[in-house]
Structure 1
């Protein structure tokens, strides 16, 4: 989430203001050095806080989120990143190619959802189940599965249980894929609208082009009709001569 942008804008405004206050205090008012520095810091703070507030407010208006919603989504993203760090650290326990492929696919889906919400926070509401339960369940299951899988001396029942756990992980992968598809549903709807607009504009352009061709064709016929009497007049003049 691009929350640092408001801090950057506020700093761009506040730094020159603070320097100006410090220079005026030290050169014009000729106060003690410590007080000059404090005035400069005060000028920075007095400029930074309102500028940051206004910039952040505009950013929230653009995202169509309230301050509390933005804060909550930011917290959920922080928790999600903790889970992804755990997922990455579990790579060292992978012991088979098929497990590696499955876990890498799950991680790719997870990263895609998180980065999409970071880019457009309002999408969080279409994948709340992912943040509230699905992601944590997937990470916990993968960690336990990989830990038990590498243990030697497994019994037949334990191997069967691990196999069943792997099947449940594949189901988890399908669930995460469903979360991603649901999140992208509005984007596909927007894409359909754009496609319909392109089709409509193309049809209008074809109609305008056809109408223009008809108009030019009629004008050409009219010009030909006007030219025929002139030719007849010329022939009559030659006959009289």
Structure 2
């Protein structure tokens, strides 16, 4: 939503600049209509991209990131998006309600972490364990588990491995939840601070 708003701002500034430049060239400098129009369009395009660059620089400054850090975060978000898509596909191969519930929970937590970091890239460094370890493990285990559980194999060792994998998926879901809490730690601390302030204010009013 914010990106659309910024796009309209850039477009508005570019159109205004283009109009001013056209009138200045056509009326002020007696340039030909076509020539004035071409220069005005070129000027509007230049203003659009300069505004876009300034908006991005300001946004990066507000988020405490350099351009290279932002690029690095975006690359990891792209990889995470692809992994979450793989995780979602395992739902179609799940054979039991319990497994489906596990996968749905893992997908829900993964998506939530992804969207929080997508909105505020500086939080990426608080969720490194998710991006570099837990999401990978979850996807790999889910894919292998759903594949093997769909096979007509009665071997006891395979069944034992599947049960162990299912338990491990539960542990990974717990890790994903901890990752989400870590990513949201600043908000949680801020909320706790506000609660403490509110409690003190309430106590003061009661004492009065």
TM exceeding 0.5: yes
- What are the within-5 Å matches in structure 2 for residues 20-169 of structure 1? 20-22=20-22, 28-31=30-33, 33=34, 35-36=35-36, 38-169=38-169
The match for 2:193 is 193
Contact 1:134 1:176 in 2 (8 A): yes
SS of the aligned residue for 1:29 comes to coil
Q: CA 1:78–1:19 in structure 2 vs 1: closer, same or farther (change >3 Å)? A: farther
Contact 1:6 1:56 in 2 (8 A): no
SS of the aligned residue for 2:152 comes to coil
Distance 1:206 1:47 in 2: 59
Larger of the two Rg values belongs to structure:
1
Distance 1:129 1:8 in 2: 37
How far is 1:7 from its partner? 4.0
Per-residue CA deviations over 1:217-240 (Å, capped at 9, x if unaligned) read: xxxxxxxxxxxxxxxxxxxxxxxx
TM-score (norm 1): 0.75
Distance 1:3 1:74 in 2: 15
How far is 1:19 from its partner? 4.5
Distance 2:59 2:6 in 1: 8
SS of the aligned residue for 1:127 comes to helix
How far is 1:2 from its partner? 5.4
TM-score (norm 2): 0.86
Distance 1:144 1:2 in 2: 39
Distance 1:2 1:117 in 2: 15
Structure 1 range deviating more: 63-72 or 125-134? 63-72
Distance 1:155 1:5 in 2: 59
Q: What count of residue pairs does the alignment treat as equivalent?
A: 206
Unaligned 5+ segments in structure 2 are none
C-alpha RMSD of the superposition: 2.4
How far is 1:11 from its partner? 2.1
Q: CA 1:136–1:23 in structure 2 vs 1: closer, same or farther (change >3 Å)? A: farther
How far is 1:3 from its partner? 5.4
Q: CA 1:155–1:185 in structure 2 vs 1: closer, same or farther (change >3 Å)? A: same
